[in-house]
Structure 1
């Protein structure tokens, strides 16, 4: 198996409650930067952030990612995911291009329709109201994404003002980052959406839940999603090799602190769960909590982990930078052994 890229995925929570080491928005942002720096030093490959609006979490990713880019040199920076129902595509294209240029081409931008939000149809308060037939804004999110991708590709987006330019014609956004279009990922929650993602020429980002259930274990269903994505990608004739990420909750029990916080959970979160989301069945992947030795065996048997090239590890960011830096270093060591393990028959 090729070497798996390991990134962390932070939801950026903050709460001023006992036990939290992240009590304010400022602490969440500053600690996110510090964790990315520590992760790079530990050899971790990516720093990714979930974007949520109207909640005590990260809502404006580009200032954060730019700050991380300015303080690091190697680690990928990304999102998992930006809810495109909320986005002005052209403004986002300018922000993304500027961030990518600051980073030297390290931006990996996960986008999608998004997940259920704290606010009811909060995107309407941002000024984006879908067509009456588009109940959840999915078509609007895809339309915003299409405009965004055309803009970052350098297509003309506005007519030139002859009084200012001395000529007629049309203008692209500025600045542009030439290769950013190859580093857009779509967050797909179903097998059909993964096939659509391949048709569009975007990388695949799959999380710890799928909004469908066929009765098979989560990793098998997700592995099928990945297989369908790659098959349709090949059929679509794209020349480059796509990337595929999955996210997992992975907690190596390596010291008294990790045992204190997660030792009991290891006994109750070791299996998939099936529930309801957005009015339908959804299958949620298990958490991986245990000794590093046990995690190597369990992750080596996870079919989707073995099929993906990138694993995003969700981190309990409210436990602070030091705890999560140790966690990520341990996860990196686990995957060194997972990559060397034979693929189960």
Structure 2
């Protein structure tokens, strides 16, 4: 494991017994958790994106604020829902963010997860999908987004261009342009087939928190096969740079008696779960709770965790800054070093393009 970070769903608006955060407090807490995580040497701060829900949504303001308050920690998403995005505007914002962050972006995008709204992307003005899940427009938008990020011309200059030193009729790329950004794009894959597509495209793989497959194999085994297929497709396509692979898990180290009281009740969910998502029989990952030695044994037996280079810890962000930093500190001090991790003191993971 080369890197680990936290993945926040950014819940807010629940009853006081469940945190009772306002949207404002959730956002300020997210920034403070990111700053504290960097001080612990944690590699990344990643945020989910859900629309029409009391959770994190439009990510760029939050990621920009985190980037401005930090110097080393990677900032990113897990994942942006392409059904809701204007791909050229997203390319502009992503490039600006990567420049602000000095190349510390890990931008996860995908078709998007199941949501509370019925075809909610249409309310944002994006119509024309013939797929009830909107996968068709998500893929089309993603291809256009990648072209824009690569710096391909997206428009033609006017015959009498105003305010820019360009030749009439010349192709114009999206500005600003951040050359290193293309190698900091991740696709959130929920199946083995989609992982192969990501590999052929030469992007990074952000394996989903659930897989829309259920073969009888464990979640970790399914993900490990997904990762193997991704890496094989990446190599067969002739890409030569080193891709990144992340998986996410809920991990609660029990180091003190208070930890046992706080997290012990979660241990009942310590097994994979099977359910129906978007009409697919799907597999959900387990939650790990235990003393450090127990966690190390369990994580080493998780084939996907051992195959990935980046582990994202899903955190109960609605429970406040102090508790979440305590979880990250416990993992950083008592678990991660035995898995090969070293504190982040220099910025992006070694081998990543560090300059925007």
TM-score normalised according to structure 1 size:
0.94
CA contact (8 A) 1:207 1:248 kept: no
Following the alignment from structure 1 to structure 2, what is the Cα–Cα distance between the partners of residues 87 and 196? 21
Which secondary structure does the structure 1 equivalent of 2:175 belong to? coil
Following the alignment from structure 1 to structure 2, what is the Cα–Cα distance between the partners of residues 250 and 155? 42
Following the alignment from structure 1 to structure 2, what is the Cα–Cα distance between the partners of residues 47 and 258? 23
Q: 1:257 to 1:18 in 2, by over 3 A?
A: farther
CA contact (8 A) 1:22 1:320 kept: no
Deviation at 1:20?
Answer: 4.1
Give 2:353's aligned residue.
none
C-alpha deviations, 1:80-138, integer Å up to 9, x for none?
00010000001111111111100000010000001101111100001111333x23211
CA contact (8 A) 1:13 1:22 kept: no
Give 1:321's aligned residue.
321
Q: Does 1:72 align with 2:70?
A: yes
Following the alignment from structure 1 to structure 2, what is the Cα–Cα distance between the partners of residues 94 and 244? 25
Name structure 2 gaps, 5 residues minimum. Answer: 342-356
CA contact (8 A) 2:208 2:248 kept: yes
Give 1:145's aligned residue.
142
Give 2:351's aligned residue.
none
Which secondary structure does the structure 2 equivalent of 1:263 belong to? helix
Deviation at 1:258?
Answer: 3.1
Give 2:32's aligned residue.
34
Following the alignment from structure 1 to structure 2, what is the Cα–Cα distance between the partners of residues 100 and 157? 20
CA contact (8 A) 2:121 2:127 kept: yes
Which secondary structure does the structure 2 equivalent of 1:264 belong to? helix
Give 1:343's aligned residue.
none
Following the alignment from structure 2 to structure 1, what is the Cα–Cα distance between the partners of residues 64 and 80? 16
Q: 1:280 to 1:16 in 2, by over 3 A?
A: closer
Higher RCO (CA 8 Å, separation ≥ 6 residues): 2
CA contact (8 A) 2:19 2:318 kept: yes
C-alpha deviations, 1:126-170, integer Å up to 9, x for none?
1111333x2321121011111111111111111112321562212
TM-score normalised according to structure 2 size:
0.91
Name structure 1 gaps, 5 residues minimum. Answer: 341-345
Following the alignment from structure 2 to structure 1, what is the Cα–Cα distance between the partners of residues 302 and 14? 37
Deviation at 1:329?
Answer: 1.3
Give 1:191's aligned residue.
192
Following the alignment from structure 2 to structure 1, what is the Cα–Cα distance between the partners of residues 20 and 246? 27
With 291-300 and 107-116 compared, the bigger mean Cα shift is at 291-300
Give 1:284's aligned residue.
284
CA contact (8 A) 1:130 1:137 kept: no
Deviation at 1:38?
Answer: 0.2
Aligned pair count?
336
With 15-24 and 302-311 compared, the bigger mean Cα shift is at 15-24
Q: Does 1:135 align with 2:132?
A: yes
Superposition pairs of residues 23-62 of structure 1, within 5 angstroms: 23-62=21-60
Q: Does 1:161 align with 2:158?
A: yes
Following the alignment from structure 2 to structure 1, what is the Cα–Cα distance between the partners of residues 110 and 255? 35
Following the alignment from structure 1 to structure 2, what is the Cα–Cα distance between the partners of residues 21 and 100? 32
Give 1:176's aligned residue.
177
Deviation at 1:257?
Answer: 4.1
CA contact (8 A) 2:224 2:307 kept: yes
Following the alignment from structure 2 to structure 1, what is the Cα–Cα distance between the partners of residues 97 and 20? 25
Following the alignment from structure 1 to structure 2, what is the Cα–Cα distance between the partners of residues 221 and 108? 24
